[in-house]
A and B are shown apart, each in its own frame.
Chain A
Amino acid sequence: MKLTNYKYRSPGFPRFGNRHVPITLFMMLLSLYTFAQQTVKGVVKDQNGIPIAGATIIEKGTTANGISTGFDGDFEITTSSETAILIVSYIGFTTQEVLVNGQTFLEITMAEDTQELDEVVVIGYGTQKKADVTSAVATVKSEDFIQGNVKDAAQLIQGKVAGLTISTPSGDPTAGSQIKLRGISSLTGGTGPLVLVDGVPGSLNTVAPEDIESIDVLKDGSATAIYGTRGTNGVIIITTKSGAYNMKPTIEYNGYASMSIIANEMDFLNADELRQKWDEGYTFNGANFEDFGSSTDWVDEITRNAYSQVHNLILRGGNETTNLTASVNYRDIEGIFLKSDNKKYTGRVNVNHAMFDNKLKANMGIIVSEQQFNALGDGTSFNPYIYRQALIRNPTEPVKDEEGNWFERDVYFYDNPVGYIEETIGMNRYRNVRFDASLTYDFNDHLSVKGLYTRKGNSNIRGFYQTKNHVSTVKYGQDGFASRGTDDYVGNYGQFTLDYNQSFGDHRFTGLLGYNYEDNTNEGFWATNRRFPTDGFTYNNIGSGQGLQEGEAGMGSYKNSDKLIAFFTRVTYNYDDRYLLMASLRREGSSRFGEDNKWGYFPGVSAGWRINNESFMESATWLTNLKLRAGFGVTGINAGANYQSLSGLNYGSYFLYNGQWIRSLIPSRNANPDLKWEKKEEINIGLDFGILSDRITGSIDYYNRRTNDALYNYSVPTPPYFYGTIAANVAEVKNTGLEFLLNVTPFQTENFNWTANLTYSTNTNEIVSLSNDEFQLTNDFFDEGYTGEPIQISTHRVQEGQPIGNFFGWKSVDITEDGIWLIETPDGEIIPATEASTDDRQVLGNGLPKSYFSWNNTVRYKNWDFNINLRGAFDYQILNFSRMFYENPTISYNVLDSAFDEVYGKAVLSDVQRYVSYYVEDGDFLKIDNVTIGYTLPKDVLKFAKDFRIYATGLNLATFTSYKGIDPEVNRDGLSPGNDDRDKYPSTTTFSVGLNFTL
C-alpha cells in the first residue's frame, strides 16, 4: 500500500515506530533559540511526488538537532555545518541520509520500505504499527483483492485471511457473502461480523468494492474486546480510498464487463429420455403421467448468459489545507435467470480540512447509494420456487398451449415457470445515505481529541404484482394480486475519543479514552390486495382491488428501536521494541438487555515479545522478525431482537362474540430481566515470523474461545410462565483452532516476481452445555433443520458434547430387491425403512468443514501480471437435497437421470423419498477460484496516464470434488449447515475483462 493516505500520516501525531520522536520534539523547542551556521529549507516527497508530512529530519552525529516536516512536506533546519548529513525517516519508507553540501534547498524523495513490519494496521479506534501488534489481526490491501465481479466487500478478501471463511453459496446477484470467523460461537446470534466503514458501523455494501483501499480483520478477543457486545464474530474494518494533503489531483477509473453462466447443471430427464423411459415400460404419476408432444428444456427457458458491467471513477487531490475524494460507482449485474438482476449507483464525497496551524482537522463525508432490482417474489429478488418448477416439469409439455396461454396443469404444486416469471411484475428500490462529520484537535504532539457524528438512513420501497394470467389467478382465483411495502431505518452514531502518547527513553506508551453512542430505529408499512379491475395498474393503484372490501387484503406496520452506549479505554506499552503490551476495557450497555443486566464489562489484554530484537538473537541476521503473542479477551453478541427482555402481549386471532369477531389478547413473550449479551472468552496465542529479508513471512495462531450464556429460546412450563418459551442465556459453546499464514516470495528479480500466500485453518466446535440450573433440557439435544415437503423431518441434531452441524437421520446401508431402503439402527440391526422409527436415527456426518485451505499466487513478469487463487474446505458433509428429492423414479415430478441407476448396485429405488445417509455426501473440495491475467502499459506509451492496466479474470472456474451437487460451497449459516437446498439459486462461473487507469 502506498502510504499516501492522510489517515496513516497524521502530522504531529503519534509515530510509534520512531524512537527519535521525543528527541525531535525536544529539539523543536530548543531550535527556537538558534545559533546555527546554515539554514536548509526543502521538501520531502514520495516516489509519486506527493509531499510527506510529519517525516523526521535529524542532523547526523547530533541527538538534539531534529525537526518534522510540515503539511506540505516542507522543512527548515539549521545545521551545525555546511557539510552536515541529514537523516530523513518516516514510517513505511526507507530511512535515508542526505548530504547538505552547501545547498540551501533540498528536494528529498523517499523510497517506500517494503518491510512489512513498518506497515500500519487499523485496529479499533486507531492504528498501530504492524510490528507492535500483539493480537490476531490481518490486513488485506487493494492490490491483493480478488478481482472481477465480486458480490461485496467480503468477497474481495475470500481466501486471504486464515480463519475467516467467506463463501458465496448463492448465485443471486442481490445475495451477499456468508462470513464465518473461527467457527460458530452462538446458537441464535449468527456469525455476522461487525463491519466498520471508515470507523463507523456499516455493512459490506456501504461502499462499492472498487472504492476500498484496504480491509483489516480483527480476529481474536483481545483485539475485538474494545467493540464489546459486537466483538465475538470479529471486526472487519473497511478503509476507503481517500485523498491526502498536497496530493496532485488524480482521476482513477476502474471498470469491467463480465459474463456469467450457470456453474454446473443437474441432469434431469429431457423429452427424449423421458419418452425412452415410457418405451421401456416405466409409468409415472403426476407431472410425467403423459406425453404432451413437445420437447422443452425448461431450465434453458428461464436462464440466460448474464452480462454485467461495473464502472468506478475516483477523483482525488488536495492542497496543504484541504483535500478531497469523490467517487461514483455504477453496477449493472444480471443474474442467470430471467428478470434476476441488481443495479446500484453509489456516490461518495469526502473532504478533509486543516486549520489553526493544522491543529484542528475537520472531516465531512457523504455516502449515497441507490439500488434497484426486479422482484419475482413479494419483497424478495428471484423466487427460487420458479427454478424448482423448471427442474421438475415434464419436458414434453409446451411452454404455451395452442391458444397462446401458458400451458398449466392441475398437478400438486406445479406451475409453469416461464409463465410465473413473465406474469410477475416487481421492483424493489433501496436508498442509503450516510453523513459523517468529525473534528480532531491536536493539543500538542501527545494529546488529541476527536469527536465524530454520523447519521445513517436506509429506505426502500417495494412493489409486486401477479397478473390475471399468473397461476395465482388462473388456478387460485386471486384475480390479480398486488403488494406494496416500505421500510425505513434511521441511525445516529456519535463517538468521542481522547488520544495520548508519551515516550521516556525505551518506554513508549499510548492511551485512549472514549465514549460512543448509537441508536437505531426501524419502521415500515406494507399492504396487499387482490381482485383488480385491470392488470394495467400493476402494483401502482393498490386501492382499486376489491379484495379490501371482501376482507382479503392485508396490511401491516411496525416500528422499533434500540440503543447501544459504551465507554472504553485502551493503553499500549512498548519497551525497547522487545516487550509489548496492550490492554483495553469497554463498558457497554444495550437497551435490548434485561433490566437487571443493562451493562457489561469487556476486558481485553495481550502481550508480545519480539524475540528477534533480543541481544542474544543479534547473530541471527537471517531472522528479520520473530514475535510471540498471547492475548485474552471478553466479547459479546448482542441479543438478537429488540424487546426480547420485556413481556409482550399480542392482539391475536379472532373470537366470535355476540355475532362479532373480536381480537383476542394473548401473551406473546415472557419477561426476562436477566437477559444479557452472549459472553465469549477467548485465548489467543500466536507467533509471527519473517526470515531472509522477509522473503518468507508468516504467522501461526492458536485460539480457544468459549461462549457462555449463549442465547436460545427455551421451552418453559406454563404456568408459572405465561408464554411457552423464553429467550435465555444458558448454553455454552466452545471453539478451538489453529491458523497458519505463510507468505513466500520464491522469485524476486527486476523482471520476474512471484509471491505466494498460503493460509490454512482448522476449527473444532463443541456444544458444552445446553442447560443450567434454571433452564433445562431433560434430553441434552434439540433438532434443527427441515427437509420440507414431502419428507418432513428435521435434518440436524444439536447435542451436548457434539459439534454444531451434525446430520441426524437414518443410516442407509443397503436396499432390498424391491427397492426399499435398508437402515442400520444404532444397535447395528438392519431393518427396512418402512419399519424404522425416529429412534433409529443417528449422526450421519457434519456440515461444517474442519479445515480450510487457500493458496494465492501472484506472478509479475515485466508488464504482465498473473494471479491464481485456489481455495478448499475439507472434512465435512453435505446433504444433497436435489438427489434426496429427485433421484427417485417413484415421485410425481420429473426426476434426475440418475434416478434409474441401481442403488448400491442392486436395485432401482422404489421407496418413497426419505432422508437417509445415502444422500449425505463428502463435501471436500478444491477450487480454482480466481484467475487473472493483466497487462500494464509501459509508462511511455500513454504519457498522460500514470497507470494503465487491462486484465481478464475468471471467478469460480473449476472445482475438484466428489460432491455430486452443483457446488460444494453450500449454506453454512445457522444450526443446520451443509443443507444444499434443492431450490438454491445455482452458483455461477463468471468471466470478466477490465480496465484500470489513473490520470
Chain B
Amino acid sequence: MRTLIYRTHTLKKLALSLTVFSLVITGCTDLDEEVFSEVTEESFVPAESDIVSVMASAYTPLRYVMDWQGYFDVQEEPADMIVTPTRPNGWDDGGTYKRMHFHNWDNTQWQPRNTWINCFNGINSVNRVILQIENGQLPVSEEQATSIIAEMRALRALYYSMLVDTHGNVPIIASYSDELPVQSSRSEVYDFIVSELSAVISSLPEEVDQSTYGRVTKWTAYQILARVYLNAEVYTGTAQWQKCIEACDMIINSGQYTLSSSYSDIFSAQNENNAELVFAIPYDQIYAGQFNAHMKMLLPDHRLVFGMESQPWGGSSCNPQFIDSYDPNDKRLTDTWLQGDQLNASDGSVVMTLVKEMPSIYFCEFTEGYRCGKYQIEPGATGALNNDFPFMRYTEVLMMKAESLLRTGQGAAAAELVSTVRERSFDNPADAVVTAEELSGDTTVAYGTLAEDGSIDEAGDQSPVAYGRFLDELGWEFAAEAKRRTDLIRFGVYQTKNWYNHTPKGDYTTLFPIGLEELNTNSNLQQNPGY
C-alpha cells in the first residue's frame, strides 16, 4: 500500500517537472540576434538625409592618395625624384621601398595593391549607389537621380583613369551583379573612360563653388579626359594630342580658373579657395586625417622646426640628380625642397642641416637628402595635415595643352604657355621665358646610377630624351604631386634610364602586376605580361 502511494506521488511530481521542463524549453529557443550599436543591411532603411552619406562612400576612398603607401608612393617611389633609403630608424621595411626603386616588385607589393583596392572600393561604391537609386532603395527624385548618377559615373571614370595607368588590364565593372568580374584590356578600359565621360559630361554641374568643391564637375570630367588623351598612346598605341587640346580648351575657355599668383599658395594648409584647383581631395586634421605623406618625408626633428605636435618618421628625400637639374633662379627649388639649415621655430637655433647628397639607398643618415616641404606645415601640425591635395589643377591643364601643341608641331604656342606658367617662379621675368627649341631638347637631368660619393657610377642609356626639357618642366612644376611615374613613362624615361641606384628592368614594368590576393579571389584575372 505504502509503496503504491509513494509511486503515485512520484509520478505526479515527475509529471509536474516534465511540464515545467517543456515550458522552459519551448519558451527559450529563440536565437535571433539583438543588434544595438551596429547597423545591419537588413535593418537599414535609407532616408533622404542618408543619400549624401551613401554617396560619400564613393568619394572617401580617394583620400588614400596621400595616405600611408598610397597613390603618392605608387607614382613617386618608382620614379626619379623621391627615394626612400634605409635610415638610422629603419625604413628597410622588408625591402619594400628598394623594390619600388629597383622596379623588381612582385604581386604582393603593397603600394600598387593599395591603388587597386581603393580604386575598386570607390568603383564598387559608385555601382552600389547607382544600384540603390535604380532599384528605388534611395528616396530621390528623378532629377536628383540623373545628376547623382552622372556624377557617380564620372567619378567611376576617375578611378578607372588611375587604374588604366597603374594596372591597365583591369575588369570594367559597370554594375553590381552576382557574376565574377571579367578582365578587360587596357584599351577597352581607355574606351570605357572616354565613353562614360562623354555620356555624362553634359549632366555634370558647371558651378565652381563650395557646393561642388571636392566633387566631380564638368571641368573635372574634361581634365580626366585630357589626362587619358594625353597618355592615349601609352594606353592604346594611338596618340590623341588634338583631343587633349580640345578637352583642355573646354576648361580654359570656361573662364572658371586662373593660375595662382603664388606657387606655394597652391599647397598651403588653407588652400581650399585657391583659384587653380579644378579637383581637390579635401583633407582635415580632425575630420579627414589621412594626409600623412609629410610624416614619411620630414625628419623627426622637423617637429621643432615647424612647431609640430607630432614627430615625423624621416624616410623619403629627393634624388640629388633631380635637384641638380633645377635652374638656381627657379624659386620652385626652395619652395619644393627643404634644404640646408633647419631652424628651431621658437629660438631660431639650427636644429640640423640638410645636405643634398644621399650616399646609397642601403643607408643614408637622417640629414642626407632634401625633403619635400611643398605642402605647408602649420604650427601645431599633427600626423594629419589640413592641406587639401590639388589632384587636378589649372596649371596641369595648360601644361597638357602645351605638351600636345609641342608634340604636334606648334612649339611657339607651347612655349608661350610654359613661359606663362613659369612666370610666378622667377624674380626676373626674363628667366621665365622658354623657347620651343629649348623645350624640344634633351633633359637636363644627368641620368645614370650614382656611386656613394655622388659621381656617376653606371651611365646607362644616354640617348637624348625627346622633348626631355618639357619633361623637366613637368618635374619642376609638379614635383611630389603623385604624377611623375606617368610622365616618365610617356617620355620613355621610366623604361630606359638609370638614376640613383636604379637600372631599367624592361617595358613590362610600366604596368604593375595584379595583386596576389586579387588573383586569388577572382579566377577570371590574368596576370599582366612580364610577371
Contacts and interface: CB of A to CB of B under 8 A. Distances in A.
Interface of A: 29, 32, 285-286, 410-413, 441, 443-444, 447, 449, 475-478, 494, 496, 498, 515, 517, 523, 551-552, 557-563, 565, 567, 589-593, 598-599, 642-643, 645-659, 661-667, 671, 715-720, 722, 724, 776-779, 787, 789-793, 834, 836-839, 890-892, 912-915
B213 interface: yes
A672 B225 CA distance: 41
Contact of A560 (B37, B55, B128, B363): B37
Given A523-B36, A664-B57, A892-B89, A838 B300 contact: no
A331 B104 CA distance: 58
A563 B30 CA distance: 9
Interface in B39-82: 39-42, 44, 50, 52-57, 59-60, 63
Contact of B41 (A648, A662, A718): A648
A651 B38 CA distance: 9
Given A411-B300, A560-B36, A838-B106, A664 B286 contact: no
Contacts of B523: 778
B117 interface: yes
Contact of A791 (B3, B90, B104): B90
22 contacts: A412-B300, A515-B21, A515-B28, A517-B28, A551-B286, A559-B37, A563-B31, A591-B31, A646-B33, A649-B39, A653-B60, A658-B211, A659-B210, A661-B284, A663-B56, A665-B39, A719-B178, A793-B93, A891-B88, A892-B89, A912-B86, A913-B92
Contacts of A652: 57, 60
B35 interface: yes
Contacts of B20: 496
Which of A411, A494, A593 has the most B CB atoms < 10 Å from its CB?
A411
Given A444-B10, A643-B33, A717-B522, A665 B53 contact: yes
A643 to B, nearest CB: 6
Interface stretch (B159-167, B302-310, B443-451): B302-310
A728 to B, nearest CB: 12
Interface string B180-199: 11000000000000000000
Contacts of A589: 29, 31
A648 B40 contact: yes
A441 B362 contact: no
B362 A912 contact: yes
Contacts of B238: none
Interface of B: 2-3, 6, 10, 13-14, 17, 20-21, 24-25, 28-42, 44, 50, 52-57, 59-60, 63, 86, 88-96, 99, 104, 106, 108, 117, 120-121, 124-125, 127-128, 173, 176-181, 210-211, 213-214, 282, 284, 286-288, 290, 300-301, 303-304, 308-311, 313-314, 362-363, 365-366, 380, 516-523
B37 A558 contact: yes
Contacts of A592: 33
A858 B432 CA distance: 93
Given A565-B28, A654-B284, A834-B362, A412 B37 contact: no
Which of B31, B99, B523 has the most A CB atoms < 10 Å from its CB?
B31
A29 B5 CA distance: 13
B301 A410 contact: yes
A413 B56 contact: no
Nearest to B380: A477
A717 B176 CA distance: 12
Given A285-B365, A717-B181, A914 B213 contact: no
B110 to A, nearest CB: 10
B40 A591 contact: no
B364 to A, nearest CB: 11
Contacts of A447: 10, 14
Given A591-B31, A648-B41, A475 B311 contact: yes
Contacts of A557: 37
Nearest to A32: B2
A792 B93 contact: yes
A552 B108 CA distance: 36
Given A494-B28, A649-B40, A650-B38, 12 more contacts: A567-B25, A650-B39, A655-B288, A656-B288, A657-B52, A665-B56, A718-B121, A718-B124, A791-B90, A791-B94, A891-B88, A913-B92
Contacts of A656: 213-214, 282, 284, 287-288
Contact of A649 (B41, B106, B124): B41
Given A651-B53, A662-B53, A912-B362, A792 B94 contact: yes
Nearest to A655: B56
A477 B309 CA distance: 5
A642 B86 contact: no
A449 B24 CA distance: 14
Contacts of B33: 561-562, 591-592, 642-643, 645-646
B177 A412 contact: no
Contact of A655 (B59, B124, B313, B519): B59
A512 to B, nearest CB: 13
Given A410-B304, A447-B14, A515 B60 contact: no
A647 B53 contact: no
B57 A665 contact: yes
A793 B50 contact: no
A452 to B, nearest CB: 12
B491 to A, nearest CB: 29
Contacts of B32: 591
B117 to A, nearest CB: 7
Which of B95, B125, B284 has the most A CB atoms < 10 Å from its CB?
B95
Nearest to A656: B282
Contacts of A719: 124, 127, 173, 176-179, 181
Nearest to A515: B25
A651 B39 contact: yes
Given A412-B89, A476-B311, A552 B286 contact: yes
A449 B17 contact: yes
Which 6 A-B pairs rank lowest in CB-CB distance, beginning with the nearest? A790-B90, A655-B56, A664-B56, A477-B309, A793-B94, A892-B88
Contact of B89 (A413, A441, A649, A837): A413
Contacts of B21: 496, 498, 515
Contacts of A839: 106
A958 to B, nearest CB: 37
Contacts of A29: 3
Given A443-B13, A648-B39, A717-B521, A655 B303 contact: no
Contacts of A517: 24, 28
B81 to A, nearest CB: 23
A272 B97 CA distance: 38
Given A32-B2, A515-B21, A647 B41 contact: yes
A517 B308 CA distance: 56
A167 to B, nearest CB: 30
Contacts of B313: 412
B231 to A, nearest CB: 27
A410 B93 contact: no
Contacts of A789: 90
A853 to B, nearest CB: 37
B303 A410 contact: yes
B210 A646 contact: no
A787 B93 CA distance: 10
Nearest to A793: B94
A646 B90 contact: no
A787 to B, nearest CB: 8
Contacts of B366: 285
A646 B90 CA distance: 42
B124 A837 contact: no
Nearest to A910: B363
Given A559-B37, A837-B106, A838-B108, A665 B50 contact: yes
Nearest to A556: B37
Nearest to B89: A412
Contacts of B519: 778
B44 A649 contact: yes
Nearest to A833: B95
